[in-house]
Copies of this chain bind each other. A is one copy, B any other.
Amino acid sequence: MLPFSRVSIIGLGLIGSSIARAVRQHMPGVHLAGHDADPAVRETARALNLCDDIADNAGAAVTDADLVILCVPVGAIGPVAEVIAPDLPADAIVSDVGSSKASVAAALGAVIPARQIVPAHPVAGTENSGPEAGFASLFHGRWCILTPVDGGDPVAAARLQAFWERLGAQVDMMTPEHHDLVLAVTSHLPHLIAYTIVGTASDLETVTRSEVIKYSAGGFRDFTRIAASDPTMWRDVFLANREAVLDMLQRFSEDLSALQRAIRWGDGDMLFDLFTRTRAIRRGIIEQGQDDARPDFGRAHD
């Protein structure tokens, strides 16, 4: 049995278009409606046949839906919810894919009844953006976190869980607050650091940008991938999850200062101990299928 039969996707970038493709592949009977605020994206989505209908306004895309997924930057969730609220069927579930959840729960809760809301976050993506960057297997083996809200409907959450499992994801449930703390360390802080170091490297006077690029295989290139992620999405994430990000950043800065001191004073044992300890986490990630087991992420070496 299909968990939903008429799905509406608002925002047809990397994640929205990947959901559309995955629904086509895993639940071909589902009717797909879609909308994007950008006319060029709507045109591309039509050319790619991503959905059965691409509506020119968000309200028209949701009138028939039993599941609406907002795939827009988290700062746009509130405004979009306000736009669709008058056209939303009373039994439709509203979800999203945003990287912060407490702010999304508040934004949705302001205009949509709690029993219709189930915020979600599929922890998956690439550095590319736009409707052409999506692909059906993006969620395979990845985790999708649902953060049910106060006054929410457990049946709605169970149906959304079934939906994500059909797309190949594993599903966890937690509070929005705990989600925001966990993702601050596994996603937001890594992005912040990657953006920072790429900025630092771009601004040097003693080392040219051309040298930074040529010798990037020494480690730097790894950081440039996530620092190429969508700027609007990430600006919104840092503003929406400010407290948790600042908390994690504070801890990171303290640890970095300790390492700086160890280098300055030649404390090789302290360095060696940390560098040995960090290998275990990588092993855990490989063992649990959360990264490519091949060396160098499986990069081509020829």
Q: Which residues of A pack against B, CB within 8 Å? A: 99, 123-128, 133, 135, 137-138, 140, 142-143, 145, 172, 181-183, 185-204, 206-207, 209, 211-229, 231-232, 234-236, 238-239, 242, 245-246, 248-249, 251-253, 255-256, 259-260, 263-264, 266, 268, 271-272, 274-285, 288, 290-292, 294-302
Contacts and interface: CB of A to CB of B under 8 A. Distances in A.
Contacts of A242: 263-264, 266
A126 B217 contact: no
Contacts of A213: 281, 284-285, 288, 290
B226 A187 contact: no
Contacts of A200: 185, 189, 248, 251-252, 255
B263 A225 contact: no
Residue with the greatest number of chain B CB neighbours at <10 A, chosen from A204, A253, A281: A281
Contact of A218 (B99, B277, B279): B99
18 contacts: A123-B215, A126-B295, A127-B296, A181-B207, A182-B212, A182-B215, A185-B201, A186-B207, A186-B211, A186-B218, A196-B259, A198-B281, A213-B290, A216-B285, A231-B272, A245-B263, A296-B297, A298-B298
A260 B246 CA distance: 7
A260 B196 CA distance: 10
A274 B199 CA distance: 7
Contacts of A199: 255, 274, 277-278
A282 B123 contact: no
**Copies of this chain, count:** 2
A234 to B, nearest CB: 5
A182 B202 contact: no
A215 B253 contact: no
Nearest to A192: B259
Contacts of A190: 197, 218-220, 222-223
A175 to B, nearest CB: 12
A230 B95 CA distance: 44
A75 B300 CA distance: 31
Contacts of A215: 123, 143, 145, 182-183, 186-187
